[in-house]
A and B are shown apart, each in its own frame.
Chain A
Amino acid sequence: MTEPLVRPKRKNPLQRTRRPLSPQGIRSRTAHGLTAAAAEGRFALQVCEDCKTVIYPPRDCCPSCLSARLPFRDVSRGGALLAETTVHTSPEPYFRERMPWRVGTVKLDAGPVMVAHLHGDTREGDRVRLELKLDKSGSAVAIALPEQDTPNMADDPHLREMTCDPKFRRVLITDGRTPVGQAMAKAFADAGAAIVFVGVADAWKPFPGLDALRKIAPVEIVPLDVTDTESVTEQAEQNGARIDIVVNTAEHVRSGGIVDRHGLTVVREQIDVRYLGLVRLAQAFGPILRARGADGVNSAAAFVNLLSVHALMNWPAYGSYSAAEAACLSAAHCMRAELRPGGVKVMNVFFGPLETEWFQTVPPPKVAPAALARGVVRGLQQGVEDVFVGDIAEDIRARLAVNPKALEREMATS
């Protein structure tokens, strides 16, 4: 049974903050197929297209038939834990300070044998289910979980190293004015976040939902305007050291394209709120998050980007909006590289049109703010890096994978 995590004590301000370390993240190019699967919470291994052999460790040649056609495919997660060991000494500083560390040999139902991290509730000889996770280095590792869920299993120390579970963590929702920001605050409160800081810009401007927001127990309203560098900097100076997860809910949704738009004001606002806002948050909060990546069980864990799925393919009906979202997606890739040394994940959450006023004229299916918030919390609990919420997001992603050019043409008329 996993010992339930207890709410961490207040940090002794005189104590040195442990500097973050990572396991070795270097992988062969092929092995990053596992990273791609782990980033989305899938369990995929190479499956030979010619002889169907399931292959592990990742290879460039099938050990059964020498085929080179070895795509990663989702396979069964089940297996048997044949042998386990508890590692007590390691030359790698990351593991040294986390000893002892259990690993085991799992014979997968799908065929191959995986050396895997072991959840505390697994026992030698047991059936287990494997998951691919991103470890603190950002590369994929396998962890064997008990076949059936066990109480408090998310609190397992090995597993929690690989997830960004909001439980007992302190969260900043950057914009509480929007339905999404408010749903997010509620979802994080429900997920056990210790404090939910909710940013509000221009407090002199009233907005609906403020009273409900104030009633959520762990919510603390704080002044924050992502378009104002000084405001973002001040908030980071004030609360940055006790913010473990940043969720950027600042949005600027306006319909309209690029050619058929009158002037730059809206485009500039979109860039200012979305792209520059993200950069401001990244510059103000990123270095503190990165420095606090190993700061106890409520260490800094994640920066969450809410992105329109049209960051991946422009939707001309919301063309300049899509372009600003694409800029944020690109920035997120850079942020990942920059925050990875701290073991801090940048989670991109892609969504289709929302059930909000700015998508009023768009027919369903649309994503309810609460559903988006649940997707964010679930993604953090799983420790994934890319989340697709809702049918449209999944649809765009699937079509993009098949034929980007067809999608581009089809978006013009949708």
Chain B
Amino acid sequence: MSVDVLSFARAIANGQIRVIDLTQTLSQDFPTIVLAPELGQCAPFRIEEVSRYDERGPAWYWNNISLGEHTGTHFDAPIHWISGKDLQNNAVDTIDVRKFIAPAVVIDCSNECAADPDFALTIPFVEAWEARHGKIEPGHWVLLRTDWSKQSFADYANLRDDGAHTPGPEPAVVKWLVEQRDVHGFGTETIGTDFGQGHHFNPPFPAHFYMHGKGRFGLQCLTNLDLLPPKGAVIIAAPLKIKQGSGSPLRVLALVS
């Protein structure tokens, strides 16, 4: 069967296919990942006016911006993690561009997270989801709907004396999603793809470890996941073509028919 790209475009234009923006606005005060202060830090988003119809440029307005590869809504490439460092085409500039468009399933654990910020996604939880919505097919993004993007910044980061307390996956479920469900990648609303206290897991930060170790991707700081169906959305997530980039801030769009 031949695919008609133009009718796809018409469906977008006439609203038959809805486009949902899953991206947070890049702003200076949006939380970025916090590490121990002696470690290297991800740069927050910063913006400096170059000119604004003034003596620095009379007829034009523009800014210089600076930010880290992992600032704001961003994409993680396999090269980001040590487990994926030797894979082929593992950086944002070398990833097969076809991989930037892929279907997604959305696992809703928003009620559980509202009750417990330390909610951890487990295999049984996903199996229960599959019992309701069907098996996760290969090549799908798994997006974790926690409604975390609706929190105040303080609750969003939820930093306490022992670090961040935000929901995320247990090691076993990540390994299982990669090996048993052959997922495309893992996406979250939180600052990282991993559980807030994920440094205590074995391996630490399993979403990074297993996903990137097998050449899968990550998306974080997503929003509007509550507007997506459990199945059937297509995600457009094309990172900037940064030479040997480990990730990139990007605009993430969901197409829903």
Contact = CB atoms under 8 A, between A and B. Distances in A.
Do the two chains touch directly in the complex (Cβ atoms below 8 Å apart)? yes
B29 A202 contact: yes
B29 A265 contact: no
B46 A204 contact: no
B159 A265 contact: no
Q: Identify whether the interface residues of A are mostly helix, strand, loop, or mixed.
A: loop
Interface in A169-220: 202-206
A263 B43 CA distance: 14
B97 interface: no
B40 A228 contact: no
Interface stretch (B150-158, B197-205, B230-238): B150-158
Interface residues of B, number: 19
A269 B28 contact: no
A230 interface: yes
Nearest to A254: B38
B28 A230 contact: yes
A225 B46 CA distance: 11
B28 A205 contact: no
A interface, size bucket: 10 to 19
B40 A204 contact: no
Nearest to B152: A204
A202 B44 CA distance: 10
B154 A203 contact: yes
A205 B47 contact: no
B251 to A, nearest CB: 22
Interface string A244-269: 00000000001000000001011001
A269 B159 CA distance: 22
B224 to A, nearest CB: 21
A229 B159 contact: no
B28 A206 contact: no
Nearest to A253: B37
Contact of A265 (B28, B40, B154): B40
Nearest to B153: A204
A204 B28 contact: no
Interface string B138-155: 000000000000001110
Interface of B: 28-29, 31, 34, 38, 40-41, 44, 46-49, 152-154, 156-157, 159-160
13 contacts: A202-B31, A204-B152, A204-B159, A205-B157, A205-B159, A206-B154, A206-B159, A206-B160, A228-B29, A228-B44, A231-B28, A266-B40, A269-B41
Closest 6 CB pairs of A and B: A204-B153, A204-B154, A228-B28, A204-B157, A265-B40, A204-B31
Interface of A: 202-206, 223, 225, 227-231, 254, 263, 265-266, 269
